[in-house]
Amino acid sequence: MHFFARALLAVVLVGSSVATAQTLQYQAPPLHRVVHRNTFALRVNPLGLLYEGRFMYRMRLYESDSMALRDNFIGIGLTPIASPAFIRAGAYVEVQPMTVLGFWASYTFVQYFGTFNLFQSFQSARSNYSDAEITRLGAGTTMNPGAKSQYLGNGTELTIGADFQVKVADIVLRSKARLVRPDMNLRAGDTVFYDQFYDVLAPNRGWYFVNDVDVLYQTGARSL
């Protein structure tokens, strides 16, 4: 299951800086805008603390009074992600031709710190990568003779994404699809690794696909 689907506790703080307040709810966005969006999450299984940020410049493609069309843009930005176990940083581009549909791509550098037994690689996709096995491998040769010790995994990751979102009354349906190609420095002979961000056994220098589908309830704005 994906990162947020396995979270038992998640605190999400989303912040945006836009030229006009309440852009999506009441009026079309300006021609040029700078947006900062961030997410902070605490989870278990595996235990983790995560900050994900996006700093974006967006330019509107066209004007429209339609709710389904008016939040359109092309943009560029930076996407830093940090946790006690790893850091990711890179650039991305995005095109949103209409409010309900957007496409984006990012290219990031990834560095694992060797903490919390979270980065381990394996010889094949059939390998056991359970929590217990990752902990055993991360224990090192001193505590567990014959096991692989921790190492500082690093590399790059190319991600292509498509986001679909639609709102009916107070119900929001959101789908976030991603096609990912990692290029990590693994031990000789290993072809896959445990990707803690997506919680999958990922093929190194190969493509894999993940998708999140969320159903949300959005409350109305309240005046003070």
Q: List, for the chain, all residue ranges whose pLDDT scores fall below the cut of 70.
A: 1-26, 45-47, 139-151, 220-224
In a domain, 141, yes or no: yes
> For residue 131, what pLDDT is reported?
80
Asked if residue 138 belongs to a domain, the reply is yes
Q: What is the pLDDT of residues 43-57, one digit of tens each?
A: 776 667 889 999 999
Q: Can you give the pLDDT at residue 123?
A: 93
Neighbour tally for 28: CB within 10 Å = 19
* Residue 123 resides in a domain: yes
CB contact at 8 A, 181 and 205 = yes
Residue 222 domain-assigned? no
The answer to whether the CB of 70 falls within 8 A of the CB of 28 is yes
Instruction: Please give the torsion angle defined by the CA atoms of residues 101, 6, 83 and 112, in that order, rounded to the nearest 10 degrees.
Output: -100
Query: Domains in the chain: how many in total?
Result: 1
Q: Write down the pTM of the prediction.
A: 0.79
On whether residue 114 sits in a domain, the answer given is: yes
Does 207 fall in a domain? yes
Does residue 32 lie in a domain region? yes
Convert the pLDDT of each residue in 68-104 to its tens digit.
Answer: 899 999 999 999 999 888 899 999 999 999 999 999 9
| Torsion over CA: 15, 19, 23, 28 (sign) | negative
* Residue 224 maps to a domain: no
Beta carbons within 8 Å of 138's beta carbon, 6+ residues apart: 116, 117, 118, 120, 149, 150
CA dihedral (2, 185, 124, 159) in degrees, to 10, reads 40
Domain around 177: 4-217
- Which of 57, 58, 44, 50 lies closest to 80 in space, CA to CA? 50
